[in-house]
Structures are given as structure tokens and as C-alpha cells.
Amino acid sequence: MTIHILFLLLTGLALLGTFILPSLIRNQMVSLPIIYVAFGFAVFNLPIDLPLMNPDDARLDRRLMEYITEFIVIISLAATGLKLDRTPSFVNWRAAFYLLGIAMPLTIALVAFLGWWWAGLAPATAILLGAVLSPTDPVLAANVQVGPPNEDEPEDEVRFGLTLEAGLNDGLAFPFVYLAIALVDATSVGDALFTWLWWDVGYRLTVGTLMGLAIGKGLSWIFFRFKKKMAEIRETEIEEGFFVLAAVLLTYSLTEIAEGYGFLAVFVAAVVSRQRESDEETKSSEKESYQAADQVEQAVLGIFLIAFGGIIGTGGLNDLTVPGALLGLALLLVIRPLAGMISFLPSKLPWEEKLAISYFGIRGVGSLYYLAYAHNSEYFPTIDRIWAIVNFTILVSIFLHGISVMPVLSWVDRRMGRPAADD
């Protein structure tokens, strides 16, 4: 079987599964990512000659991994931003300050320390591991996020907080990836840190935010200005999907050209595009835009997860050591929950909601993108152990959080007096 025929076959199966499976597994203790990964693992372990993907050793596969995960993440960030109904403010978005200002740096520091002290990694490589594993994934965390926009239902703090975190932390984790790159061959740590602070933190975060604001407002104006004209000359309603995809790609690429953080800009632009007076037509357009982004994301995600299952089944864990596996488990079961609970000490949220937000630190596609990006920079030529740790952590997260999401969220909903998710 040639690789392009295999790709077409798996693509067809992934798209068919995206259409059929959600209705079959509704209210079941299994998630779509679990099914896709298990299917990929099984297929690539069949006694037939299939082409393999080996991103930790093969440069072409690693570059392909970077580009595919990059695309999935930016589409997911757009969808995440489009479904947030709350107006941005410190009061409405205070969960982000706790999770991103306290929990994420604390998680990076603890993972980096254990990577150096326990797993025996070099300091810069340990920082890279902490940065790669710090973000809550916007792609695989969809089951613990708020629903589509304009649902006229209150957004509870657990789902809203996790949605907001997933939307912002991919952009805010990037400076720490650059910190690891800056330190790996630095002759002067002081000079490297100074450059990192003003350029990778100050300039790039500022540019990412400002570009997102400007492009989001501009493209939103263009969309609603030309929507009626497009409707008059087209007999179909496909323009929303085309426009959303174009807006995402333009926002990301223009911000990257300006040396800002494209992930941050895409999320900010999506949020800003919704900050306008809402009538019924506007609400309908916002929902259609979200659905278009979500469908593109789900289609590509299914293909990727099958490939990820194949990577796991064909050597993706070969370099995993006992300390590395324990570090991954510690992140999911101890470090992230502990960092989350510490970050919410100033909050008046009920402890049940604090615990749920802290527990669901789902790791996924974003981590693989950051790792492929750092590896392709050639500053880290041999980081096979890092790939194994990240692959293992994502695999455990997919199964652990995928199985527990319904019982945990239903328990929280009942404790808070809300209708449970499975009611």
C-alpha cells in the first residue's frame, strides 16, 4: 500500500467517524480522541507493510508534524475565541489571571526542576520540557469547555475557566520555549535573559495582542460589511466557512511576519470579532462562523489522532524511561492539580470548582507542536527522551481525562445545583 492511498483511506475513515461516532458515544465514558488513538495504534500494528511516521528521528516527519499541529492549533484557537460569550474584563476573565499568571509558570518550574533533578535532563532541555507540557490543550479539551456561542445559557466557572485558559496559554507558553532555546548555547546567561525579556516576552506578546485586536476588528467589519452583498450574488451559504479560514490564516501569518505570537493573535482576534452589538442576524453569523471553524478542526484532528496512535504503536515510547514516565504521571496527577489549587487561593470559587479546573490540565496537540518547533530549530538535535515523555503524557491524558470528564463534571454540576451534564 502506498503512503498516499493509506492517507486517503485514513482520512476517509476519520471524516466518517467524525460524522457518526459523536452520536454513538454520547453520554458514554469514552471520547472521540480515545477511539481515534486506539484505532491508529491497532492499524499500525497489523502484520502488513505500512509507512511509518517517526518525528523524533526523521526530519521530514518532524517538519510535517510541526505544520499539521500548527494548523490544528490555530483553527482550534479561533473556535475557542468565537464561543466565549463573556465580555473581556478583569472580573469576567479573572480565572485567566490565576491560571496563566500563577499556575502555568509554577507548572513549568516544577516540571523543569523534576526533569533536571529526577530525569537527568540538561537545564535548558528541562526548561523546554516544562514549557512544552505547560499548556492546557485547546484541541483535546473541547469536552470540558463551554458550548457554541449565543446558547443563552450561563457559562459555569469550570468550563469557562478551562476554555479561557486553553485559548490564551498556547500563546503565553511560547516565551518559555524561546527561553529554553536562548539558554541552550548561551555564553552569557544574563545577556540571554535580558534579550529574552524585552524581545520574546515584551515585544512578541505586545505585537501578538495588538495585531489580534487590529486584525480582529478589521476583518469583523469586512465580514459584516460584505455579508449581505455576498448573500445577494451567491445561492449558497458557504462564505462563512471560507471567510473564517481566511481570517485565521491571515491573522496568524501577518502576526508571525511582524515577529509576534500568532497563536495569541488568532485567539484575541476571534474574541474581538464578537465585541459588537448583537442582533439575531449577528448571532446567527457568529454561530455559523464557530461551526465552520469547529468542523475544519474536527476533520483534521481525526486524521492526526489516528497518526498519533500509529506513532505510539510503532516506537513513539521506545525511549521512555521509568523517571520519564513518572514525571508525566506526576504532571497530570500532582503538579497541575497542585499548581491550579495554589493559583486559586485568592479566588472565592467553591472548592469543587477549583478542584475540577485544576484537575483538567489536558495535554495534547499544542505540546507536540512546541516540541516539533524546538526540535526543528536544531538547537536541540537529540531530544528523543523528551519526545517519549511528551508522547506518554499526552497518551495518558487522552485516556485519563477522556474517561473521567463526564463523571467529574456531572459531580461538580450536581454539587453546584446545576443540571448534570448527563441528565
CA atoms of 342 and 327, how far apart (whole Å): 20
16, part of any domain: no
Question: Is residue 28 included in any domain, yes or no?
Answer: no
- Residue 181 C-alpha from the chain's centroid: 21
The answer to whether residue 90 sits within a structural domain is: yes
Residue 109 lies in a domain: yes
What pLDDT does 281 receive? 60
CA distance 123 to 117: 9
Evaluate whether 174 touches 204 at the Cβ level (below 8 Å): yes
pLDDT at 3: 65
CA–CA–CA angle 105, 259, 106 (5° rounding): 0
Angle at alpha carbon of residue 80, lines to 74 and 85, rounded to 5° = 150
How much is the pTM?
0.91
Q: CA angle, corner 375, sides to 117 and 190, nearest 5?
A: 60
Does residue 124 sit within a domain?
yes
Residue 82 lies in a domain: yes
What pLDDT, on a 0 to 100 scale, did the predictor assign at position 22? 78
Q: Report the pLDDT value the prediction gives residue 13, as an integer from 0 to 100.
A: 85
Closest CA to 260 of 201, 321, 319, 310: 201
C-alpha cell at 198: 524585552
Residue type, 178: Y
Q: What is the pLDDT of residue 236?
A: 47
* pLDDT value, residue 148: 72
Q: What is the pLDDT of residue 341?
A: 96
DSSP one-letter code for 137 = P
Residues 6+ apart with CB under 8 A from 63: 372, 376
Q: Are 127 and 200 in contact (CB under 8 A)?
A: no
Is the alpha carbon torsion for 376, 379, 383, 387 positive or negative? Answer: negative
| Total tally of structural domains belonging to the chain | 1
Q: Give the pLDDT of residue 421.
A: 53
195 sits in which H/E element: helix 189-195
CATH number for 84: 1.20.1530.20
CA-only gyration radius of the chain, Å: 21
Instruction: Let me know if residue 177 belongs to a domain.
Output: yes
The Cβ-side half-sphere exposure at 195, using a 13 Å CA radius, reads 13
- CB-based burial label for 203 (10 Å; 0-12, 13-18, 19+): middle
Calculate ∠ Cα 181-61-331, nearest 5°. Answer: 55
Tell me if 421 is assigned to some domain. no
Residue among 253, 198, 244, 237 nearest 220 (CA): 244
**Which among 306, 309, 310, 300 has a CA at the least distance from the CA of 48?**
310
The series of mean pLDDT values per 10 residues for the chain, 423 residues long, is 72 84 74 89 79 63 87 90 84 89 96 95 94 87 72 75 88 92 89 95 96 92 72 56 86 96 95 71 70 80 88 90 96 96 94 93 90 88 88 95 89 81 51
Tell me which residue range forms the domain holding 333.
Answer: 37-415
Tally helices (H) and strands (E) across the chain: 17, 0
Q: In this structure, are residues 194 and 224 in contact, taking their beta carbons and an 8 Å threshold?
A: no
